[in-house]
Amino acid sequence: MTCDPWEPGAYKDRVDEVLLGFVAQEADEFAAIDPSLSAVAEALEAAAAGGKRLRAAFCYWGWRSVGQPDSDALVRAAASMELVHAAAVVHDDLIDDSPLRHGRPTVHIALRDAVGNRPGDDAAARSLAMLVGDLLMALAGQLFATSGLPAAYTVRARPLWTVMARELIAGECLEILRTGAGPDGADTEASLKVIRYKAAKYTVEHPLLIGGALAGAGARLREGYSAYGLPLGEAFQLRDDLLGLFGDPERTGKVNADDVRGQRPTALLAETWRLADDAERELLRALLGRSDLDADGLDAVREVMRRLRAPDRIEDMIRARVEEALDALHGLDVPAHATTALTALAHSAAVRLS
């Protein structure tokens, strides 16, 4: 089976078939241990469902750009990137106490019914969600190891998994350490560092590098993957932060107020603070970080941001990073169909409504 020309919908279907079948089998085996685990097994399957499958696509083109042919085994290996993402999402929603993801209750919210009405039910549901995230990460490694690719190929890529996990967890730790620190400590460069490690690297750069390592990519191509992948990954997360506050919840499936109520270290909030005058900063201090922030308060924050043109600043950052990524891509010696696909993926990552 080939994917030339690049057909993202057809590729997504292939990834979904692999991923959902694999997780369903694992969930069945998990639930077979004891009937009381059925709700946790359902949460495991739900966590792996949905999504754009961008990370699997970048891994695929990390392989194809070396000149390797289409491969069902490679699709299976690439699908494991989506389980890394699913694990990160479960943990991230738990850390942020987010109630919705893709328009559905997040795992720790969904598991409250499984715990039942008893003392400590919220803490128990959160503990179960943490373990679902841990299991998803373990399953990612299992799917990768059993992809069907030659062992010599997977051995080349294995060290990158350690780097990916280290940097992803470092980014989450940085966000936790900087969340709620107060607007006076807001710093755009520090916020960009958080998104670089928390999201950008494992979204684009690491999947590309893993796909390239599987295919035997040389040092120059690997450097090119990073030059393309890192700015594009940052553009992806900057777009996510904009959508988190200004996007349509019907499309994003998230609650608009999460970043403001949690006072998370986003570049959007940091740029707003940098541009604000004394009166605007006083208003922001009164609103940011309030768990009881209502719709009027959220609109007031948005109004300050619009007046200062902070969203436009983030759009400029996104545009500059996409241009940097595409410049790096066009400097690579890769097949024309790979350039076309990676160009389309760049636009899919940075220009979107959800």
Query: Contact 226/205 with Cβ under 8 angstroms?
Result: yes
> What whole-number distance in Å separates Cα of residue 182 and Cα of residue 17?
45
Query: Residues 6-58: pLDDT tens digits?
Result: 899 999 999 999 999 999 999 999 999 999 999 999 999 999 998 999 999 99
Angle at 122 between CA 116 and CA 125, to 5 degrees: 70
> What whole-number distance in Å separates Cα of residue 49 and Cα of residue 162?
25
Q: pLDDT at residue 302 above 60?
A: yes
Segments in the chain forming alpha helices (H):
8-31, 38-48, 54-64, 72-96, 107-110, 112-115, 121-145, 151-178, 188-195, 206-215, 219-246, 249-252, 258-262, 267-275, 278-287, 295-308, 310-330, 336-350
DSSP state of 70: P
Query: Residues 128-155: pLDDT tens digits?
Result: 999 999 999 999 999 999 999 999 999 9
Predicted local confidence at residue 4, as pLDDT: 61
Query: Residues 330-339: pLDDT tens digits?
Result: 999 999 999 9
Choose the most confident range, by mean pLDDT, from 104-108, 115-119, 263-267, 324-328.
324-328
What's the pLDDT band for 2 if we cut at 50, 70, 90?
very low
Q: pLDDT at residue 186 above 90?
A: no
Predicted local confidence at residue 326, as pLDDT: 98
pTM to 2 decimal places = 0.94
- The torsion angles phi and psi of 158, rounded to 5 degrees, stand at -55, -45
Tokens 């541009």 map to which residue? 275
> What whole-number distance in Å separates Cα of residue 42 and Cα of residue 28?
9
What's the length of the chain? 354
175-189, 204-218, 237-251, 322-336: least confidently modelled range: 175-189
Q: Which residues pair with 100 in a beta bridge?
A: 105
What's the pLDDT band for 258 if we cut at 50, 70, 90?
confident
Which listed CATH number (1.10.287.3510, 3.40.50.11270, 1.10.1040.10, 1.10.600.10) goes with 8-350? 1.10.600.10
Predicted local confidence at residue 330, as pLDDT: 96
The predicted model gives 110-128 an average pLDDT of 89
Radius of gyration of the chain (CA): 21
The predicted model gives 224-235 an average pLDDT of 98
What's the pLDDT band for 116 if we cut at 50, 70, 90?
confident
Query: Contact 90/129 with Cβ under 8 angstroms?
Result: yes
Token couple for 299: 């609109």
Query: Residues 16-28: pLDDT tens digits?
Result: 999 999 999 999 9
Q: What is the mean pLDDT of the chain?
A: 93
> What whole-number distance in Å separates Cα of residue 37 and Cα of residue 138?
18
Q: pLDDT at residue 253 above 80?
A: no
Q: pLDDT at residue 3 above 60?
A: no
